[in-house]
Amino acid sequence: MSYAKEPYQTASPVHLDKKGEKWARESLKKMSLEQKIGQMFMVRTLAQFMNLNSPEYIALRDTMRKYHLGGFGLTVRFEDGFLYKNGPLEAATVINQLQKDSDFPLIFAADFEHGLGMRLNEVTDFPQAMAFGATGNLEFARQSGRITAQEARAIGVQWNWFPDADVNSNPANPIINTRSFGEDPKLVGEMAAAYIAGAHQFGMMTTAKHFPGHGNTESDSHVFVPVIKGDAAHLDAIELPPFRAAIQAGVDAVMIGHVLVPALDPDPNHVATISPAIVTGLLQQKMGFHGLVITDALDMGGLRQSFPQEGPEGAGRAAVESVKAGNDMLLLPFDLDGSYNGLLRAVRSGEISEARIDQSVLKILRAKASVGLNKAKLVDIHAVNQIVAQPASLAAAQEIADKAVTLVRDNHRVLPLRAFAKGTKLLPNPYQPVAETRNNTVLLIFTDDSRSDSGRTLDHELMARIPDARVYYIDPRVAAGMTPPVLAAVQESQAVIAAVFEFPVPGKVVRAQNGAAVNAIAVQESSATLLRQVLRSAAEKTIVVAVGSPYIAAQLPEVQTYMCTFSNGHDSELSAVKAMFGEIPMTGRLPVTIPNIAGPDAKKTGAAQDSSGGPQ
């Protein structure tokens, strides 16, 4: 059967009409218990090409049919710290095929926190949430919601696991950080609500996460069990207001975090995911949320440590306790067979009533109908290149990145830098030593892994303005060995740019100085040692650019000139270069407090905005 004979999905506003309600109720009546249980599970599928007769696709299709899955979370391959992204057409093709091979319409979700660029290439890639907080512009949040919805629906994804409603009140938070709009609960709530409104306009469901708040933690729930400190009054004033704002804005789902919250549930074995007091008592009864309640990924360490039994038994109990707590949909179980059959046995034994299952499945079916899946399952492949990555969408993302750039400190007024005039000939002699060229600008790119693409755009854009700049890529493996040449180059230079790429990486584990395993957004020690040496010898001419987490300045008390982009995307790298050369004004404001450096209300010190050029 060709796709042309099938009706295509339309990205109409999210809405459950009478026909959708009727379809949901009639579909529920037709389902067996096994089918209903399956609707409550979502597993991963990769956005990559798969031949229909390949073992990979056959296994995926057979798993979907065997367990009657309700949907899939779209992602890409992740190995050795790298995301291997593919294109939007590959995503749309595999989504269409799974829809064709499923008895019930599937709902597809994804972590498109900063647009489709979080998982795919050749799409619109917005900055991370904290960059939006730095702009203070709610229309930017609505705009990103609209554009992400248009592009997501074009490839067949109806549900975004965003916005992040966490208040990043802890600078040591290793996993929320720039994924949060900031530390002000009011701003976070307003940004989340604006995003929801924009996304709904073009048919994308939204998710407020990670309830009841993951911002005030110092550990990563992908690996550890974070503890949310503070009494009930603190939670009510800081953590919960953005979720209330999201609920009032009509958010479709709330994702429960794998966090311990003693003020809400004193049981040390009850992370929020399996806490009836938090999920049913607080979220549904006290806060009045009646939409979909979903778990964070069940394969994360923050939950698995509550179920130490290996294999099917532990997976089964995790699923059962999650449903008993009040969750409707179970995401990414670490053992699908164990989770599915454990929940099935719990219903057959009477531990969970079938009426309780019906309650969740009806919500899921209503959600599917609200995005039109009762009317059409497929997307028009031929429309993808008309909708995705439109020039206006790319320009919008770049504008937001530009407006987010924040100048925190410029004590010696080294900004703006001066670009070479076009047509300047720098090297008439191809054998001329670098030290003899006209300019001495050094770019130091600090990353966790110099093999990544972090810094490539910044490098390219700097060289377009200062063609003889010297560039060094530094990661913890090579920092010590590169120290002598880097320090020598710094001493000879007129200006130094130290671009530091630190941003949230789920499950990232490094060794602290005391040997403990941690996930921390910080410059690792060998790189930090080199950067401190640079600052001790040349702080007055060194521009430190935080391309990601703004908090890294707390490690660098010597820093004299400090800029933040709050995001590590290519657009943000370009924005940083444009800002350094005075091509755009730095209008952003800190949406968080950087310990011992500055806060949201601090005035910029020594800020030089004159675009005519400055000392190097």
The H or E element spanning position 132 is: helix 129-135
pLDDT band at 305 (very low <50, low <70, confident <90, very high): confident
Tally of structural domains, the chain: 2
**Is 591 part of a structural domain of the chain?**
no
Instruction: Clarify whether residues 339 and 488 are in a common domain.
Output: no
- pLDDT, averaged across the chain: 91
Q: Is residue 600 part of a domain?
A: no
Do 81 and 194 lie in a common domain? yes
pLDDT for residue 466 = 96
Beta bridge partners of 497: 443, 543
Q: Are 387 and 413 contained in the same domain?
A: no
Same-domain pairing of 360 and 469: no
CA distance 207 to 329: 12
Question: In the prediction, which pLDDT does 439 show?
Answer: 52
Residue 605: its pLDDT value, please? 38
Q: Average pLDDT, stretch 134-149?
A: 98
413 and 468 share one domain: yes
Closest CA to 488 of 530, 545, 426, 429: 530
pLDDT number for residue 13: 97
pLDDT digits (tens, 9 = 90+) for 10-54: 999 999 999 999 999 999 999 999 999 999 999 999 999 999 999
Instruction: Give yes or no: residues 517 and 379 share one domain.
Output: no
Confidence of residue 78 (pLDDT cuts 50, 70, 90): confident
Domain boundary pick from 392, 426, 446: 392
- Which pLDDT score is estimated for 519? 53
CA 447 to mean position of chain CA atoms: 18
Residue 252 annotated among the catalytic residues of the structure: no
- The pTM of this model reads 0.93
Catalytic residue among 296, 402, 459, 475: 296
Q: Report DSSP state, residue 12.
A: P
pLDDT tens for each residue of 389-411: 999 999 999 999 999 999 999 99
CA distances from 608 to 536, 562, 582, 589 (A): 22, 12, 9, 15
Where is pLDDT greater, at 208 or 430? 208
pLDDT at 510: 61
Q: What is the pLDDT of residues 315-336, one digit of tens each?
A: 999 999 999 999 999 999 999 9
Residue 585 lies in a domain: no
Long-range contacts of 507-516 (CB under 8 A, 24+ apart): 507/220, 507/222, 507/223, 507/301, 508/81, 508/174, 508/220, 508/448, 509/223
Is 80 among the residues known to form the active site?
no
Question: Are 293 and 426 in the same domain?
Answer: no
pLDDT(143) > 50: yes
pLDDT of residue 44: 96
Does residue 318 form part of some domain?
Answer: yes
Name the domain boundary from 330, 363, 392: 392
Q: Which of 335, 360, 392 is the last residue of a domain?
A: 392
Residue 425 or residue 35, greater confidence: 35
Q: Is the pLDDT of residue 506 over 90?
A: no
CATH number of the domain residue 499 falls in:
3.40.50.1700
Q: What is the pLDDT of residue 600?
A: 85
Residue 3 in this model has a pLDDT that exceeds 60: no
Asked, for residue 400, whether it belongs to a domain, the answer is: no
Q: Read off the pLDDT of residues 228-251 as tens digits, 9 standing for 90 and up.
A: 988 999 999 999 999 999 999 999
Q: Note whether residue 166 is domain-resident.
A: yes
Going by C-alpha positions, the residue among 547, 616, 600 that lies closest to residue 575 is: 547
Q: What percent of the chain has pLDDT over 70?
A: 91
Is residue 518 scored above 70 in pLDDT?
A: no
* Residue 33 CA to its chain's centroid (Å): 35
Q: Are residue 93 and residue 239 in the same domain, yes or no?
A: yes
Q: Are residues 113 and 149 in the same domain?
A: yes
Lowest mean pLDDT among 83-87, 153-157, 219-223, 540-544: 219-223
More confident residue, 607 or 374: 374
CATH value at residue 34: 3.20.20.300
| Catalytic-labelled residue, pool 114, 210, 222, 570 | 222
Domain that holds residue 136: 3-392
* pLDDT of 509 strictly over 70: no
Q: Do 352 and 416 sit in the same domain of this protein?
A: no
Same domain, 383 and 411: no
397 part of a folded domain: no
pLDDT digits (tens, 9 = 90+) for 531-587: 999 999 999 999 999 999 999 999 998 999 999 999 999 999 999 999 999 999 999
Q: Which pLDDT tens digit goes with each residue over 102-132?
A: 999 999 999 999 999 999 999 999 999 999 9
Greater confidence (72 vs 608) lies with 72
The residue-averaged pLDDT of 507-512 equals 62
pLDDT at 224 over 60: yes
Q: What is the pLDDT of residue 611?
A: 31
- Residue 23 shares a structural domain with residue 171: yes
Kindly state whether residue 610 falls inside one of the protein's structural domains: no
Pick from 116, 181, 129: nearest CA to 401? 129
| pLDDT for residue 170 is more than 60 | yes
